[in-house]
Structure 1
Amino acid sequence: MRRVLKDLGLSGDVVSDGVLAVSELVANAHEHACGPYEVHVRSAAGRYICEIHDRDPLLPAVTRRRRTPNRSRRRAGCSSSVDGACAS
């Protein structure tokens, strides 16, 4: 993954963030799905999209967590995009 992102001309920090994000996705697939897995990277509208595919034809059930008064939808200062970073 690191080589692919470098070949796309992305900066070092973005490459490191991308590798971390993909490793988390692969670890999640390994823990919750059937292998083997495939990693797909594509470009759409100037952004890079990474997908992890497994052999399970069924989509996982989506569960909703109960929110407590102190729980926000997203941590403050965090971005969900690969090139985002969490503020300390």
Structure 2
Amino acid sequence: MMRVATFQWLMLLTLTALSFGLAEAGMSGSAVLIPVLLATLVKGNIVIDRFMALRGVKGPWRWIVLGWLLLVLGLIAYAFQLAQS
């Protein structure tokens, strides 16, 4: 049976490969923005939980780091929308 860490590592590799594939295919624009940002959110959440070991942490620490990730992704989306206008 596959260990959780192995599954998460494979998820990180898969999401990275998908994002890379979209870029190499020359795809861009709003249609690609959402999938790439969602992949980044999933990858960031895996890193926060597994590699930063914040999965079971009580208190605000996990939420602060996750909030930072959401803020950065939101700012990227906002900047992209401004650039498209």
Q: Give the structure-1-normalised TM-score.
A: 0.32
Task: Determine which structure has the larger helix proportion and give its number.
Answer: 2
Which has a greater percent of strand?
1
